[in-house]
Every structure is written in structure tokens, then in C-alpha cells.
Amino acid sequence: MEKGTLVEFRVGGDRRLGVVDRPDGKSRWFVIDKGGQSHSLAPRQVTYKVDGGDYKPSQIDSFLEQVKPYLDPSSLEVAWELLVEDGESVNPQGMANLLFSESEAPHSYAAYCLLSDDKVYFKQKGDNYEPRSANQVAERKHQLEVEALKAKGQKEFLERVSQALKGEKVEWQRHDRHRLEALEKYAALLADIPRTGVNYESLARAFPPPAPVLETMGMLGRQATPQGAFQLLVDLCWWSPHENLFLRRSSIPVQFPTKVIEVAQQRLQAHPPDLDANRLDLTNLKVYTIDDETTTEIDDGLSWDKLADGRERLWVHIADPSRWVLPEDELDLDARKRGSTVYLPTGMVPMFPELLATGPMSLVQGEVCCALSFGVVLNENGGVEEYSIHASLIKPTYRLTYEDVDEMLELGVTAEPEIEAIAKWARQRKTWRYEQGAVSISMPEAMIKVREDEINIDVLDDSMSRQLVAEMMILAGEVAARYGKENNLPLPFRGQPQPELPPEEELLLLPAGFVRACAMRRCMPKSEMSITPLRHAGLGLDTYTQATSPIRRYSDLLTHFQIKAHLRGDSPPFSADQLREVMMSVISTTQEVTMVERQTNRYWALEYLRRHVGNIWQVTVLMWLREDSNLALILIEELGLQLPMFFKRIVKLGEQVSVKVILADPQKDIIQFEEIIYQQA
């Protein structure tokens, strides 16, 4: 190159013109740009040489002004149309002649700029540029349109993200939702931490981010990890800081499909024909429904009356959702997929749409309701002497809470003698079951409720009202199972093998109360399900099935389908093989529901303790988890919570100690306690 030659080179990808000044060693040259800055360039760094002329850096701006009028990219399409047919290649000078009818330095450089920037019509081959084929041009145009739309979408997305991060209301678009849903799925991997025990870093290594997550996090300059995705969703107010990742990671549907909602609305507007047209009218009976105050799916009621011969009869009335649902219809199949209502501290995910579940399916006070009613006469010992089952009509009289019933029993309210009569039979029934080998294990149970980020933990007491309702539900389950057994009807029978409890002398060595109950609980085998009758050792019953929560448990709905069909004289909707297949699917689903409920309750228990780090709790040492390392299970009796704790000294089972929380991280499923040692005065 000669001194004074005008050349183009790139700085950070940008074009820059400079004038050759002098050599720099054997093969490099110093080039001065218009600002007077010197650049040492190798020949390969020079992208274009302007022919002719002896330029000075001060003339660069003037040269560029001469070039500017010719920089019209649309002019290349005309040149392409002239050259494409013959596939003729062209250099910048030739293109200048073709476009401008001149090939002076400014025209040739303008042509070079157009060609080198072009991404549609021409491709470089050596020093020349050859036209692309018509198909290639069409494809390139389409590709550029897609890229332009993508860039526009990214820009608009970033603008909405900026709004959201400022706390402003944002109308997220469909494509935004695709991005955010990809982030949701990736962030939900954090739910694996409690299950696997891995840390954030290990989780990120095991699950590299998918392309959409990588792109979104890269655009926002954030770390593409599950924790990073979670924090972004929280910052955008798309998620709450306590988003239920266990539920999101599960296969449990949270929303109802549009079709299911439509069918539910249709059933409300046009009641389907009642297959049980000859329902027994029991609207004359006084019916009590007893639930927690917050219960909205009311699925059982109780009555008591006297027969003409002086014997007393108990009635257990169960809500009849099969009045609104048919086997294998949209509502049934969706409920089967859910398995049961999901009960969480933050609320519930119902098995049926709420407009049905809390409306016509429920036993609503003062309204005539369809039910499946179990009439039972017990013998003096508490065993079933006589029973009948009817598709019925009832009219619930009183909507009571457990506290209401406890108060009535305590005060001996004479205006409602039915309550005392039912309670008397419940006590007799419980005694009878224990005589049949039932096992009683009483441990405090925590009920955690979260409302507007306030956490409340109450301990469910084993009050008479709760025992009363439990005994009546067990009674209905026994009667339903007996009906199935006597009529050779396949039902989802429940059983429990006989537990191998420790010898009595061994149990007596353990402290009485919770420690002994905990030891017995460990020996209780898991319950089983079968289409043929099983003994339920834990309840002390020869046969048993669940039939009292058909709005909330799909297996109970199956029992209703089968029994009601048989009562009508119809064939059961599910054969033995079909019932077995459905049960297998439902068991798998309900196990997942149970796991999500347990994990979510534990999360909020740890969050409660995190918020009360300064509190001192009285705990009981229940059992050893790893005695060699002093890891024990403790019970915070005030909260009904059972949690692990490492002790720094030897403690005894049943010992009561004072502890405080030193670390609680619900997302990582970490809880650490420290014993409070009081110094003797």
C-alpha cells in the first residue's frame, strides 16, 4: 500500500475509513482515521481500498458525504433482476456502473458498501459478488422477516419486563406467556431439592437450561439456573415468593378444561334425567351436617330415629354426585384424572368444578338434596344388626361445626336429643371395634392455613364431635363393603394387614403417650386396595370400603357408581377387570396428591418456624432416626409438628427439652434446632 491510500477497516464490527501513513515493521501499516487516531493494520485487516487519489485524514468526512446519496439498499433489487437470469457475477466497480452509470471512487465505494451489507440478493465469492437464485432470495427474505419479527418481539418483551420490574401493571402477550411458561417449568425443578437433597449448583448442572430459558435469561442478563428463573418470575410478580413448586412439578391438573366447565354449566342449566327415579323420601328426618367452618364441599349428614319396635336406627347420608355425573362422561374422566380434591394450606384444588361441588352435589342446609343413605341398626354391643342402603332425598336441617357439637354434648342440649343418641352409639361402636382388634394411635395433627401470607397452625384435637363423625363414616364404609361382599359386587375394598406390634412388655418400657404411639405407628403396615373384600385390621373390621366422600375422593365415587347400579337392578358400570384397571390409575394419582399435600404442609411449617426464629419451643423426643449420630424425631406439641433434630448430648426418648430454631429454609427443606440449656442458679 502507498502513503495517502484511503482504506476501510473494521473496529468492533463497525466500518471505519483511514489514510495509509507509513509502514509498521515489515508487513503492517499505520493508518490514521478522521479523528487523528493511529491504527496498526495487517493487510488482511483492510476490507477495501479506494482506488486513485492521495487522501488526507481531513478529507474523509467529505468523501463520505459524496458516498451517502448512493447508499440505497433497494437499488440492489434492480441490479439483481438484471444479473440473476445469466447468473453473472460483478465487482463493486461493475455494480457502480450498473447502478449509477459511473465508477468513480465514491460510486465504487458506495456499491461495495451495498454489496457487503446485503443479506438477500448477492453473496461474495472472492472479490466478486454473484446473484442468488430466485428461490434463495425468497427464502432469505422470509428468514429476515422472521428475524425482524423476533427482534421486534424481543424488544417489546423487554419493555414489558421493564414495566413489570417497576411494579407497573403489564398486559402479557401470547409469546410472552410461552417464554414465562418455559421459565416456570425450569424453575419448578427446585421442587426436586427436598426430594433429592441436591443443592442449587448441582441442580443447575444436572438440568442445563433449555434454549428458550437460555435466550430469555441472556437477554435480561440473569443467571440461567432454576433459582435464577424462580427469582425472575417472583420479581415480575408472575409468581409469589412462596409459589407451590411441588404442585407445579406434579401431574395434578390445577385448572379445569374449558369442555369440563361447559359440561358442568350444562348440567346446572338442564338437569340430566335421574336414573334413580324411585328415591326414598327421607326429608322428614332431622339431618345434621358436621364439618369445619371453612368446609365448602359438604358430603355427609347424620340422622337418628326410632323404629316401630322401639329399636334405634342411625342414618348416614352421603352426597350423591353421581346424580350429576355418569360413568365415562367428561366430568367423570376428569375427576378420575385428578383422583381426589387436593387440600393445601393455601386452599384446595377440587376434584369437581366448584359450581357443582359446592352447589347441587353438596348437602346444603334447607334444600332438598339427592343422597345415598345408609340406615343401620346396631346391636347392644355396637355391631351391625341390620342395615339398608337407599338412593334418597333428604333435607339437611342444621349445618354445624365440630365446636358446635362439642358444646351441645357438653351442655346436654335437650332440644336436640338426636345428637346425644348418635354420640352414644358412636362411643359404643368405638368400643366394639377395639374389641375386634382395632388399633388406636393418637398423635397431634397440625392443621396449617395460609391466608394473605399469614400462617396459622392449629392442632386438631381428638374431640368427641370428631370421634362421632369418624365412627359414623367408618360405619357407612363397613355397611357399603358388606353390601358388596354379600352381593358379589366388585368394589374398591380397603384393607390393612394385621400389624406386628412389639410385645406388651417391650412397649411398657417406652414412655407412655406419644413415644409409645409413635413406636406403634411404625409397625402399622400400609393399607391395601382390592376388588375383593379384605380385612382391615387397623379398624377392626372384616370388610371395609370408603364411601363417604364421593365429591372429594374418586374411589368413593366408584363405590357409589357400583352400589347404586346394583340397587336399581342394573349391571355395575365397571366389571371386575375394568374396576381393577381404574383403581390402579387412581391409586397412582392419589399417592402423588398425598405427596404434594405432605410436601406443601412441610414447606409452610418450615416457613412458619423461619418467621418465629426467636421462639423457644417445648418438644418431646419421640424416636431415634440415627441414634449413632444423635439424630432424633422431635414433636413440637404446641404445633403438632414432627421434625428431625441433631442433639449434642445423649437424650432419652420421651425427654422434654427446650429448643429454638437456628436455621429454617423451606425451599431447601432445611431445619436446624438448638437446645436451650438453662443454668442452675
pLDDT tens-place string over residues 289-331: 999 988 899 999 999 999 999 999 999 999 999 999 999 999 9
pTM of the predicted model, to two decimals?
0.82
- CA distance linking residue 359 with residue 353, whole number of Å: 10
Grid coordinates of 442: 393418637
Angle at which helices 75-83 and 92-100 pack, to 10 degrees? 110
- CA distance linking residue 238 with residue 349, whole number of Å: 20
Residue among 546, 548, 525 at smallest CA distance from 537: 525
pLDDT at position 287 is 97
How does pLDDT run across 257-269, given as a tens digit for each residue?
A: 999 999 999 999 9
- CA distance linking residue 570 with residue 582, whole number of Å: 20
At position 88, the amino acid (one-letter code) is: E
Angle at which helices 576-611 and 330-338 pack, to 10 degrees? 50
* Burial class of 491 by CB neighbour count within 10 A (0 to 12, 13 to 18, 19+): buried
Asked if residue 268 lies in contact with residue 355, where contact means CB atoms within 8 angstroms, the answer is yes
Beta strand pairing call for 288-291 and 398-401: parallel
pLDDT at position 504 is 83
Identify which has the larger pLDDT, 13 or 586.
586
Grid coordinates of 151: 427482534
What is the average pLDDT across 596-613?
A: 96
Phi and psi (nearest 5°) for 40?
Answer: -95, 115
The 8-class DSSP code of residue 543 comes to S
Asked if residue 474 lies in contact with residue 433, where contact means CB atoms within 8 angstroms, the answer is yes
What is the average pLDDT across 361-385?
A: 96
Query: Is 336's pLDDT higher than 90?
Result: yes
pLDDT at position 413 is 78
Query: Is 632's pLDDT higher than 90?
Result: yes
What are the distances in angstroms from CA 245 to CA 147, 203, 210, 607, 668?
A: 34, 15, 19, 14, 12
Asked if residue 249 lies in contact with residue 195, where contact means CB atoms within 8 angstroms, the answer is no
3-state secondary structure of 407: helix
3-state secondary structure of 65: helix
Residue among 502, 484, 501 at smallest CA distance from 493: 484
Grid coordinates of 657: 427439652
For residue 167, the Cα-to-chain-centroid distance in whole angstroms is 25
- HSE-CB of 66 using CA atoms within 13 angstroms: 12
How does pLDDT run across 69-90, given as a tens digit for each residue?
A: 999 999 999 999 989 988 889 9
pLDDT at position 681 is 55
- CA distance linking residue 500 with residue 519, whole number of Å: 11
Q: How confident is the model at residue 679 (pLDDT cuts 50, 70, 90)?
A: low
3-state secondary structure of 512: coil
The 8-class DSSP code of residue 319 comes to E
Q: How confident is the model at residue 502 (pLDDT cuts 50, 70, 90)?
A: confident
Per DSSP (E only), the strands in 481-609 are 493-495, 528-530
How does pLDDT run across 142-160, given as a tens digit for each residue?
A: 999 999 998 999 999 999 9
Query: Is 363's pLDDT higher than 90?
Result: yes
- CA distance linking residue 225 with residue 189, whole number of Å: 10
The 3-state secondary structure of 87-139, one letter per residue = CCCECHHHHHHHHHCCCCHHHHHHHHHHHHHCCCCEEEECCEEEECCHHHHHH
Per mean pLDDT, which range of 96-110, 154-168, 193-207, 340-354 is the poorest? 193-207
Grid coordinates of 621: 423426643
- CA distance linking residue 449 with residue 426, whole number of Å: 29
Helices (H) and strands (E) in the chain, counts: 21, 25
Query: Is 560's pLDDT higher than 70?
Result: yes
- CA distance linking residue 538 with residue 523, whole number of Å: 11
Q: Is the dihedral of CA 315, 319, 321, 324 positive or negative?
A: positive
What is the average pLDDT across 422-427?
A: 96
Beta strand pairing call for 384-394 and 280-281: parallel
- CA distance linking residue 441 with residue 516, whole number of Å: 9
Phi and psi (nearest 5°) for 164?
Answer: -60, -40
3-state secondary structure of 455: strand
Grid coordinates of 411: 351442655
Torsion of CA 639, 645, 651, 656, to 10 degrees: -10
Phi and psi (nearest 5°) for 466?
Answer: -70, -40
Phi and psi (nearest 5°) for 38?
Answer: -95, 135
What is the average pLDDT across 561-569?
A: 97
Which of 12-16, 244-248, 520-524 has the highest average model confidence (pLDDT)? 244-248
Average pLDDT, the chain: 93
pLDDT at position 607 is 97
pLDDT at position 179 is 92
Q: How many CB atoms lie within 10 A of CB 597?
A: 17
What is the average pLDDT across 111-131?
A: 93
